[in-house]
């Protein structure tokens, strides 16, 4: 038989922080009071009563000299003022997430906005939030929000600031937000839900689906605990809600092979451990060691310092920050700009509620109970360790070119600035390096100086490796007639050099075109992508002769495929001779118009009628395919109407 405890069972960090504050205040020897039960758990309240901690319901019950602790739900501004007026020392154990909502609604009212709170109007947290502004509206359902909106005049111009009770459901919040976005044009939205409760319930549902029996530990009066039990019953037929280990009955677990344990946010660790110990005894599973309240509390109180590396659980992803439970009295959060080195990355793309992550402690605020964290900084520290190994192992890495400077290029590799000298950029001397900015490239890290935070990279090292491999492949597979798709790298007076994938071959000027050309530039230019074929090659001398012109490109073949004797075509006079004129039918294909075929009358010389460059319409009268000669006639077309008349 196995017994599994939900990771999120027991105190959330807000409750843990409040309990720890009471524990420390009680040990200081002063008269300590909590404004209402510090948490909804009779065992914890009784434990503190034994330590001399009193529970008061109203500020008026506090006596001068008392230390009054405000519980995690928070209170109204008026309560703070009354406690100050009575001259008592006040310790604020308000959950930092709740405290943030107090600030939001207070600032919203100062900006002329009406705070709208989505939550239960009678809940202590909501009562406290509402007490930080003179006027607000509280809605516990989308329907209530809709009814209020319908009663408002000039709805579109109403300035609204919307927040949520931290323990509200995601479904309720989203439905209200979707409605508000359609109704209010002057709207500010702050997603203030604490995802710890949602995660706890989700984990309970998942655990109950794979266990034959579930034990839910917590005060039966706690709505949080009751909700957990209800969720478990949706997936598991045997669910037992117990306040403590003494309520467990061995006969309830006969024949059960898998038991899951979860607990509400106000259930102390020592009760969960007692339940686990008892279940272990019932099921013959190895028991855990019994520990005292103080010992268990000490386990949850960790000292955090700037620069620490800590592990936590993502409990929520808000509009501006990611909430992280570190298992301490502090509320951890990661500002959005500290999640990733890539500004285009959204937090929800790389993190989700329930993820266990390692983070870097940026700033600790013990007074407010918060700790600012950074995933980006820790990732950066890890990258420095990786880079040293990349140099040794000659690893190829990916980076994005962010800028061009006088000496070369700068790339971003996992958040680290890498300098690539111009000679290692892969760009020819004098080439346009600015065209590389914004591109993702492969490179090797050649030098790392962590003390000076200097990293040198080389794109050329990668391209050289790739080129060498490509060359070996080409020479291993090359054969006459094989076709390649290449890029024109350079031009000379006698031909063009073409890169066919790591190896350069030469296309002689005579192999570039069927027509007579003056220079290779008449046909191709540097950078052109062309299809070529191997004419001959010499592996020893590493020389390859390539051909570009093909039979399909032969103008004579094109002429023969397109025209026949008797066809009338458009031509251009290209040369005048004493015996006639040559006219171009296609580039590279000329036909002769004999002097006797130029006009329907006798002429002395061709230039009496024609001039070079003149466009004429001619009839093909004869084709000598063997000698590639074409006879043309203008006269035949001039006589045509008379023939037609006959």
Taking the C-alpha atoms of residue 389 and residue 346, their distance in angstroms, rounded to an integer, is 29
441 - beta bridge partners? 399
DSSP-assigned letter for residue 86: T
336 Cβ partners below 8 Å, 6+ apart?
Answer: 320, 321, 322, 347
* Euclidean distance between CA atoms 163 and 188, whole angstroms: 9
From residue 601, how far is each of 102, 536, 579, 597 by CA, in Å? 107, 56, 15, 9
Given 20, 125, 274, 321, which residue is catalytic? 125
Q: Which helix (H) or strand (E) holds 122?
A: none
Q: Is 125 a catalytic residue?
A: yes
CA 142 to mean position of chain CA atoms: 32
Question: ∠354-358-364 over CA atoms, to 5°?
Answer: 105
Concatenated DSSP letters for 328-378?
Answer: SSSEEEEEGGGT-S-TT--HHHH--TT-EEEEEEEEEETTTTEEEEEHHHH
Q: How many Å apart are CA 473 and CA 351, to the nearest integer?
A: 43
Q: What is the DSSP string of 580-644?
A: EEEEEEETTEEEEEEGGGS-SS--SSGGGT--TT-EEEEEEEEEETTTTEEEEESHHHHSHHHHH
CA distances for 259 relative to 234, 272, 281, angstroms: 16, 14, 13
DSSP secondary structure code for residue 515 in this structure? S
Active site residues: 125
């Amino acid at each position: 038989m196995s017994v599994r405890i939900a990771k999120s069972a027991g105190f959330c960090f807000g409750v843990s922080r409040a309990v720890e504050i009471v524990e420390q205040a009680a040990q200081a020897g002063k008269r300590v009071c909590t404004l209402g039960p510090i948490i909804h758990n009779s065992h914890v309240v009784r434990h503190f009563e034994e330590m001399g901690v009193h529970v008061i319901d109203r500020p008026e019950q506090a006596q001068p000299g008392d230390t009054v602790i405000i519980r995690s739900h928070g209170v109204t501004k008026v309560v703070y003022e009354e406690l100050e007026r009575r001259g008592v020392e006040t310790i604020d154990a308000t959950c930092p997430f709740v405290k943030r909502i107090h600030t939001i609604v207070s600032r919203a009212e100062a900006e002329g906005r009406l705070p709208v709170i989505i939550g239960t109007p009678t809940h202590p947290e909501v009562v406290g939030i509402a007490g930080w502004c003179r006027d607000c509206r509280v809605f516990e359902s989308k329907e209530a929000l809709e009814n209020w909106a319908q009663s408002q005049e000039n709805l579109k111009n109403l300035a609204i600031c919307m927040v949520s009770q931290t323990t509200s459901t995601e479904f309720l919040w989203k439905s209200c937000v979707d409605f508000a976005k359609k109704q209010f044009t002057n709207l500010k939205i702050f997603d203030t839900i604490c995802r710890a409760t949602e995660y706890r319930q989700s984990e309970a549902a998942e655990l109950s689906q794979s266990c034959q029996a579930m034990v839910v530990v917590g005060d039966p009066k706690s709505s949080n605990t009751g909700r957990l039990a209800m969720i478990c019953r949706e997936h598991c037929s045997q669910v037992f809600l117990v306040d403590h280990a003494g309520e467990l009955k061995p006969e309830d677990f006969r024949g059960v092979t898998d038991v899951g344990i979860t607990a509400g946010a106000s259930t102390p660790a020592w009760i969960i451990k007692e339940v686990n110990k008892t279940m272990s005894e019932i099921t013959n599973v190895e028991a855990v060691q019994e520990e005292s309240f103080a010992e268990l509390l000490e386990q949850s109180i960790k000292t955090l310092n700037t620069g620490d590396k800590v592990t936590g659980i993502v409990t929520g992803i808000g509009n501006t920050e990611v909430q992280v439970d570190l298992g301490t009295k502090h509320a951890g959060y990661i500002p959005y700009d500290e999640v990733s080195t890539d500004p285009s990355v959204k937090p929800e793309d790389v993190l989700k509620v329930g993820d266990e992550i390692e983070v870097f402690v940026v700033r600790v605020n013990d007074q407010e109970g918060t700790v600012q964290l950074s995933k980006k900084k820790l990732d950066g520290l890890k990258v420095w360790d990786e880079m040293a190994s990349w140099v040794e192992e000659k690893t190829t890495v990916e980076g994005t070119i962010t800028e061009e400077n006088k000496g070369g290029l700068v790339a971003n590799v996992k958040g680290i600035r890498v300098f690539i000298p111009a000679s290692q950029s892969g760009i020819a001397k004098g080439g346009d390096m600015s065209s590389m900015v914004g591109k993702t490239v492969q490179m090797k890290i050649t030098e790392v100086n962590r003390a000076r935070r200097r990293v040198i990279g080389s794109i050329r090292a990668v391209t050289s490796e790739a080129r060498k491999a490509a060359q070996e492949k080409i020479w291993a597979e090359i054969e006459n007639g094989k076709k390649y798709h290449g890029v024109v790298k350079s031009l000379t007076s006698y031909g063009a050099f073409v890169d066919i994938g790591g190896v350069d071959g030469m296309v002689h000027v005579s192999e570039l075109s069927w027509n007579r050309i003056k220079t290779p530039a008449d046909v191709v230019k540097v950078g052109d992508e062309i299809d070529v074929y191997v004419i001959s090659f010499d592996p020893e001398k590493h020389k390859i002769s390539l051909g570009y012109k093909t039979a399909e490109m032969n103008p004579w073949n094109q002429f023969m495929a397109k025209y026949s004797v008797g066809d009338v075509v458009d031509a251009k006079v290209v040369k005048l001779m004493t015996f006639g004129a040559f006219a171009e039918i296609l580039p590279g294909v000329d036909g002769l118009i004999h002097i006797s075929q130029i006009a329907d009358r006798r002429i002395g010389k061709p230039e009496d009628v024609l001039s070079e460059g003149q466009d004429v319409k001619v009839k093909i009268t004869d084709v000598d395919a063997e000698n590639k000669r074409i006879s043309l006639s203008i006269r035949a077309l001039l006589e045509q109407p008379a023939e037609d008349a006959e």
